[in-house]
Amino acid sequence: MNPYELTIGQARTALDDGKLSSRELTTSCLERIKDVDGSIHSFIRVTEEEALKQADAADKELATGKSAPLCGIPFSLKDLLCTQGMTTTCGSKILENFIPPYDATVVEKLKNQGAVIVGKVAMDEFAMGSTSENCAFTVPENPWKNGYVAGGSSGGSASSVAAMECLGSLGSDTGGSIRQPASLCGVVGMKPTYGRVSRYGLVAFASSLDQIGPLTRDVRDSAMVMNAIAGYDRRDSTSVKQDLPDFTASLTEGMKGVRVGIPREYFGDGLDPEVAKVVEGGIQALKSCGAEIVDVSLPHTEYCVAVYYLISSAEASSNLARYDGVVYGYRDQDADSLSDMYRETRSSGFGDEVKRRILIGTYALSSGYYDAYYKKASQVRTLILSDFQKAYKSCDLLISPVTPTPAWKRGAHANDPLAMYLSDILTISANLAGIPGISVPGGFSSDGLPIGIQLQGPHFREDTLFRAAYNVERATHLGNKCPEIG
Amino acid sequence: MKITREEVEHVAKLAKLNMSEEELARMTGQLDTILLYVAKLDELDTAGVPPTTHAFSISNAFREDEVQKSLSVDEALSNGPHVNEDAFIVPKII
């Protein structure tokens, strides 16, 4: 077995037992990247030299016998997490040369544990998209099938973990951007509760929805990374002071006493029968572990896409106003006046999807339309949130598909943004309600594409999701499966 | 029609984006489709429903007014596309 094939948990044991060094493990991942990234295209930038230095430092730490749980483990990072001295592009030409003078809190936490950063991975520009095709630099392939999308916007995170180019990755999820690519690539993706993980140093897309979380090859690894990154941070005033459990302690066999809700609106028209079958398998698995299955309703589900695109675009239009060519990023150097410089910089620095959302957001917030669009959407958001609160009176978690279909061919929605937006219908509500959600591999389609199962829970109950995901994983035996890449 | 070419042109101006004729035509069509879709929210009576701006609300994240470590001037200027001594340089305004 090659070291890069290990899960984080397995590598931890091998490192602690002295059977493996971080340098060997890191070198193995870097070799793997050299072998397969020419066909997978996960990485915008591989940071080999820095990674080997970090690995050597980790080996010194390991020798003391007192290393942290992620010490010596190679990670990739979605390229919207600020890394001190390391270019952070956000998948955009406008930040092509941006070198942050500080680390994001989550990056600092990984580094403090002695984790190794092997590089920055592909994403849709400013996290806007569902396929990572809106990346200005590279577009990741689905490691399970050539010519198919890896999902998005954390597509490079998912493809790098699935293709075994690293052992784990951090992504961000504004409307499904961790869970959806995890599902499409056959890995575990956790979106924590809003406020659970600090977003200091995360390049903002939609501030009331964005959340950082791990993509890993099994559920235990996901819990291990959550242990490392969760917690209050004074530098992010939206992070919440809450007790932090040891998430790995929730990985117990059996579901006795747990009520699992099936939201009927998530199983409507347009759901691929193969996806439905995989989710049914997950329901049966939890039932046979002792869970009680109940039917629940989230009646406003059909409105979530409309609410999401108004709110996220409105917030994005405001957040992205900062890219004006003055203090960082790309600047059009030929402009004669300040206002020309703003316009030329933004017009040639942003891609189409970003411009589209800035326009929708600016329109929704503009005088005369604010009440009809932004305020209306914020009111319906209240109804969506209260749907979940009602549902959680009769169940402890919800089980559903992550996406209506497995991965699709690249370029399929190129000229139809709305069709693309609608594919996010099953993941968006969790962001609007701020609740946690996890995508765990559940099976494969007849043509070999992974299909995930989504579990959603009440605020700050990631522990329940980890327990259920662990039981699904044990039943399906899909943890840490490797695609053949060639 | 939910949005006209002129309105898109106006919004682009507010957002400091230049648009070619081709882009304006394409964006108008796409925005119109999206706005027609979101009009589905009108089916719901939301009179008296309070808006949600954050799913998990926290109030007043204040801290004591103490000096804390922050970026140095050099660090803050390090990404400036055009800097001079302690300042960012922009094209002439007046």
Q: pLDDT of A356-395, one tens digit each?
A: 999 999 999 998 999 999 999 999 999 999 999 999 999 9
In-domain check, residue B33: yes
| Pairwise CA distance, residues A72 & A16, whole Å | 10
In-domain check, residue A66: yes
Report pLDDT for B55: 82
In-domain check, residue B25: yes
In-domain check, residue B54: no
Local structure of B2: helix, strand or coil: coil
In-domain check, residue A355: no
Q: pLDDT of B60-71, one tens digit each?
A: 778 889 998 899
Chain B environment of A206 (Cβ under 8 Å)? none
| Pairwise CA distance, residues B11 & A330, whole Å | 23
pLDDT band at B58 (very low <50, low <70, confident <90, very high): confident
Number of domains forming the structure of chain B: 1
Mutate to test the interface with A, among B10, B21, B24, B34 (most CBs of A within 10 A): B34
Do residue B11 and residue A359 have CB atoms under 8 angstroms apart?
yes
pLDDT exceeds cutoff 90 at A436? yes
In-domain check, residue A76: yes
In-domain check, residue A281: no
Task: List the domain range (segments joined by +) for residue B31.
Answer: 1-43
Q: How far is A408 from chain B (nearest CA, A)?
A: 22
| Contacting residues for B93 by C-beta, under 8 A, at least 6 apart | A337, A338
Q: How far is A374 from chain B (nearest CA, A)?
A: 9
Q: Domain holding A231: CATH number? A: 3.90.1300.10
DSSP state for residue A409 in the 8-state scheme: B
Scanning every residue of chain B, which has its alpha carbon at the shortest distance from the alpha carbon of A103? B71
**Residues 50-69, chain B, touching A (beta carbon < 8 A):** 50-56, 58, 61, 63
Would strands A116-121 and A145-149 be described as parallel, antiparallel, or unpaired?
Answer: unpaired
Number of domains forming the structure of chain A: 1
- Mean pLDDT over B35-46 rounds to 96
DSSP state for residue B40 in the 8-state scheme: G
- Mean pLDDT over A247-267 rounds to 97
| H or E stretch at A53 | helix A48-63
Do residue B38 and residue A434 have CB atoms under 8 angstroms apart?
no
Q: How far is A25 from chain B (nearest CA, A)?
A: 34
Ramachandran angles phi, psi of A364, nearest 5°: -65, -25
Task: List the domain range (segments joined by +) for residue A71.
Answer: 3-256
| Pairwise CA distance, residues B46 & A370, whole Å | 15
Q: What mean pLDDT is reported for chain A?
A: 96
In-domain check, residue B3: yes
Q: pLDDT of A86-134, one tens digit each?
A: 999 999 999 999 999 999 999 999 999 999 999 999 999 999 999 999 9
In-domain check, residue B50: no
| Residue in A193, A208, A435 closest to B54 by CB | A208
- Mean pLDDT over A228-255 rounds to 95
Report pLDDT for A113: 98
Q: Domain holding B23: CATH number? A: 1.10.20.60
Q: Is B16 on the interface with A (CB under 8 A)?
A: yes
In-domain check, residue A416: no
Q: Does B47 or A420 have the greater pLDDT score?
A: B47
| H or E stretch at A146 | strand A145-149
Catalytically annotated residues of A: 78, 153, 177
What would you report as the CA-atom Rg of chain A, rounded to the nearest whole angstrom?
21
In-domain check, residue A181: yes
- Mean pLDDT over A452-467 rounds to 98
Do residue B55 and residue A385 have CB atoms under 8 angstroms apart?
yes
- Mean pLDDT over A18-46 rounds to 98
Ramachandran angles phi, psi of B41, nearest 5°: -65, -20
In-domain check, residue B36: yes
**Residues 18-47, chain B, touching A (beta carbon < 8 A):** 18-19, 27, 30-31, 33-35, 37-38, 40-42, 44, 46
pLDDT band at A339 (very low <50, low <70, confident <90, very high): very high
Do residue A434 and residue B37 have CB atoms under 8 angstroms apart?
no
Do residue B27 and residue A355 have CB atoms under 8 angstroms apart?
yes
Q: Are A181 and A171 in contact (CB under 8 A)?
A: yes
Do residue A303 and residue B50 have CB atoms under 8 angstroms apart?
no
Q: Taking the C-alpha atoms of A336, A342, A345 and A348 in order, what is their torsion angle to the nearest 10 degrees?
A: -110
In-domain check, residue A112: yes
Q: Are A144 and A483 in contact (CB under 8 A)?
A: yes
Report pLDDT for B91: 92
In-domain check, residue A39: yes
Q: Is B8 on the interface with A (CB under 8 A)?
A: yes
Task: Give Dmax (Cα) for chain A.
Answer: 70
Do residue B79 and residue A329 have CB atoms under 8 angstroms apart?
yes
pLDDT exceeds cutoff 90 at B56? no
